[in-house]
């Protein structure tokens, strides 16, 4: 009892208003301000990391898309160059490389604008972000002396029209011309060769199905009259398919099709192909009959119970 009084007296001297964190379960005002400031800074850093991660993901996805488009464009250009000589090839190289430089300039401007916007949102400086590396064909002239330089842009509208006309003649092949027909024949032969190689070496081998499927009954002759069709109704044509009962069969030691009735000869065949641990199933007709018997039995039991109650009363 004396120890309890001493501890209370010491607590009053150290914290007379009971405002410590241990006493009231929360921080005082000064410490709470510090904690709030730390929490805010952590949230700012997390938001900055999220924005920069979104920028990186978007740029990587766009770069991947541009690489795929670039590969498709290079393949198309390669197929075009195979049809021309050195002079036309050099002309196409110069025109295409000028387009590539213009496209790269537009993409560099877009990336710079996106970086500036994201840096402003993330509250970071542009110098802290990795620099943009742009590519131009002119940068390779030091390594390759014989590199075809990009062609200068047309100075007038007439030059632009003449350039577009020549470029269209070189890039687009007329399918009705002798060169177009020869190229199409060569392409078809190469396609057949590639398809045969794919079927022989890549396409998986599939075993033929053991089930023999017929194509249906032969078509009926239109020479027969209405009386003949009415006489043979139910034995040929669509009527036979509509009225004929589907019967199961044994395929590869397995029963395929509907379950036969218990009083039919096919039911024994169905039992023979069943595994030892399998439970025989009932046909639709047998299930209906069993359900009817169960219904009658339940009705009889209900009447007997009601009669017993009446007799006891």
Task: Read off the pLDDT of residues 74-102 as tens digits, 9 standing for 90 and up.
Answer: 998 888 888 888 899 899 988 998 888 88
For residues 236 and 220, the answer to whether their CB atoms sit within 8 Å is yes
Q: What is the DSSP string of 132-198?
A: P----GGGGTTT-TTPPPPPPPPSSHHHHHHHHHHHHHHHSPPTTSHHHHHHHHHHHHHHHHHHHHH
Among the residue ranges 54-68, 132-146, 151-165, the one predicted with the least confidence is: 132-146
Task: Read off the pLDDT of residues 211-250 as tens digits, 9 standing for 90 and up.
Answer: 766 655 555 545 444 444 444 444 555 544 444 555 566 5
User: Cα angle vertex 285, ends 283, 289, to 5°?
Assistant: 115
For residues 288 and 312, the answer to whether their CB atoms sit within 8 Å is no
Domain range summary for the chain, segments of one domain joined by +: 30-172, 173-204, 248-312
- Predicted model pTM: 0.45
d(C-alpha 47, C-alpha 53), whole Å: 10
């Amino acid at each position: 009892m004396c120890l309890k009084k001493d501890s209370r007296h010491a607590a009053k001297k150290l914290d007379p208003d009971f405002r410590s964190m241990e006493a009231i379960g929360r921080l005082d005002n000064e410490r709470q301000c510090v904690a709030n400031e730390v929490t805010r800074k952590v949230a700012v850093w997390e938001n900055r990391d999220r924005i920069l991660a979104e920028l990186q993901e978007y740029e990587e996805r766009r770069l991947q898309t541009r690489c795929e488009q670039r590969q498709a464009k290079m393949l198309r250009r390669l197929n075009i160059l195979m049809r021309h000589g050195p002079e036309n090839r050099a002309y196409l190289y110069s025109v295409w490389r000028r387009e590539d430089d213009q496209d790269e300039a537009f993409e560099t401007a877009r990336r710079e604008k996106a970086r500036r916007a994201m840096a402003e949102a993330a509250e970071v400086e542009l110098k802290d972000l990795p620099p943009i590396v742009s590519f131009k064909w002119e940068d390779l002239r030091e390594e390759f002396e014989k590199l075809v330089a990009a062609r200068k842009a047309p100075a007038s509208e007439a030059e632009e029209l003449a350039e577009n006309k020549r470029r269209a003649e070189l890039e687009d092949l007329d399918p009705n011309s002798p060169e177009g027909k020869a190229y199409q024949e060569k392409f078809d032969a190469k396609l057949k060769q590639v398809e045969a190689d794919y079927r022989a070496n890549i396409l998986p081998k599939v075993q033929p199905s053991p089930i023999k499927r017929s194509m249906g009954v032969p078509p009926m002759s239109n020479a027969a009259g209405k009386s003949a069709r009415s006489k043979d109704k139910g034995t040929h044509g669509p009527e036979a398919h509509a009225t004929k009962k589907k019967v199961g069969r044994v395929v590869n030691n397995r029963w395929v099709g509907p379950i036969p009735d218990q009083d039919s000869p096919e039911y024994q065949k169905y039992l023979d192909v069943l595994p030892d641990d399998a439970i025989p199933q009932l046909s639709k007709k047998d299930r209906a009959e069993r359900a009817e018997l169960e219904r009658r039995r339940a009705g009889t039991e209900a009447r007997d119970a009601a009669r017993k109650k009446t007799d006891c009363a």
